[in-house]
């Protein structure tokens, strides 16, 4: 009976922990969105979408398209100029000296705030690519022209994976300070409770952890240990911290 009561009490503690999981999930998603620009900056390659000959092909073939495709193709003709601006924004963020990091997650907020200077691009690269795909169906295209257009669609697909619409993450950067503070409190509370899984045999529960590799910071005075390279579940935006500076992962 004693063992049964111990088990029941442990489940009650678990229920109390679960009550806060919804807030923890929301805070994690906020932090994930706030850190997303750094994730993109690390991933971006400077892509040139159109060559001079491709511009001529687009201008020639866009004359008979519907209004939506016309709008997309008009944006396409301006895309490299806009990307030049975005790449300059990214270079500007990279030149910032990162504020010192501590073992508290809240110290990341000034780092996230550095990216507020970069609105990125709101171009819908996927939709533009679909309009280009329609042009590739034109049977009057030469093999060289078709090859050029397919290269454009490939470049647009690549740009779409970068997540260059940075402005949509700025709101989450603004509120990430509160989310980071809440996560600090959550982990501190969880640690203080020292949750133990009861056993009926009295045998100790052994656990083993493999050592994690860490990477040295590139531009930060971060103290080692708590903050570091992150991975992100792109479908949920949940952000996980693993090793000494998330910026370098």
More confident residue, 208 or 101: 101
Is residue 113 predicted with pLDDT exceeding 90? Answer: yes
Which has the closest alpha carbon to 16: 236, 183, 200, 186?
186
pTM of the entire structure? 0.68
Is residue 205 predicted with pLDDT exceeding 80? Answer: no
Other beta carbons within 10 Å of 55:
15
Q: What is the pLDDT of residues 127-145, one digit of tens each?
A: 999 999 999 999 999 999 9
DSSP state of 241: E
Read off the pLDDT of each residue in 5-29 and give the average, rounded to a whole number.
61
Q: What is the pLDDT of residues 42-51, one digit of tens each?
A: 999 999 999 9
CA pair distance 201, 234, nearest whole angstrom: 42
Read off the pLDDT of each residue in 9-30 and give the average, rounded to a whole number.
65
Strands 230-233 and 238-241: antiparallel
CA pair distance 229, 115, nearest whole angstrom: 17
Give 42-46 contacts, CB < 8 A, sequence gap 24+.
42/247, 42/249, 43/161, 43/162, 43/163, 44/87, 44/90, 44/162, 44/164, 45/158, 46/83, 46/87
């Amino acid at each position: 009976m004693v063992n049964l009561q111990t088990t029941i009490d442990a489940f009650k503690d678990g229920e109390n922990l679960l009550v806060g999981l919804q807030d923890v999930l929301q805070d994690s998603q906020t932090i994930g969105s706030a850190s997303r620009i750094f994730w993109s900056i690390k991933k971006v390659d400077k892509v040139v979408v159109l060559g001079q000959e491709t511009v001529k092909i687009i201008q020639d073939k866009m004359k008979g398209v519907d209004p939506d495709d016309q709008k997309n193709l008009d944006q396409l003709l301006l895309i490299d100029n806009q990307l030049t601006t975005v790449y300059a924004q990214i270079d500007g963020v990279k030149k910032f000296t990162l504020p010192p990091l501590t073992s508290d997650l809240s110290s990341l907020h000034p780092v996230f705030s550095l990216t507020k200077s970069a609105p990125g691009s709101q171009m819908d690269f996927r939709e533009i690519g679909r309009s280009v795909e329609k042009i590739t169906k034109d049977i009057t295209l030469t093999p060289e022209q078709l090859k050029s257009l397919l290269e454009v669609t490939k470049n647009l697909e690549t740009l779409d994976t970068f997540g260059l619409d940075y402005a949509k993450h700025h709101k989450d950067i603004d509120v990430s300070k509160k989310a980071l503070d809440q996560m600090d409190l959550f982990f501190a509370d969880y640690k203080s409770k020292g949750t133990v899984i009861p056993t009926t045999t009295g045998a100790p529960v052994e656990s083993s952890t493999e050592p994690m590799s860490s990477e040295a910071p590139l531009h930060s005075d971060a103290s080692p240990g708590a903050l570091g390279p992150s991975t992100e579940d792109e479908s949920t935006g949940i952000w996980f911290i693993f090793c000494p500076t998330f910026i370098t992962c």
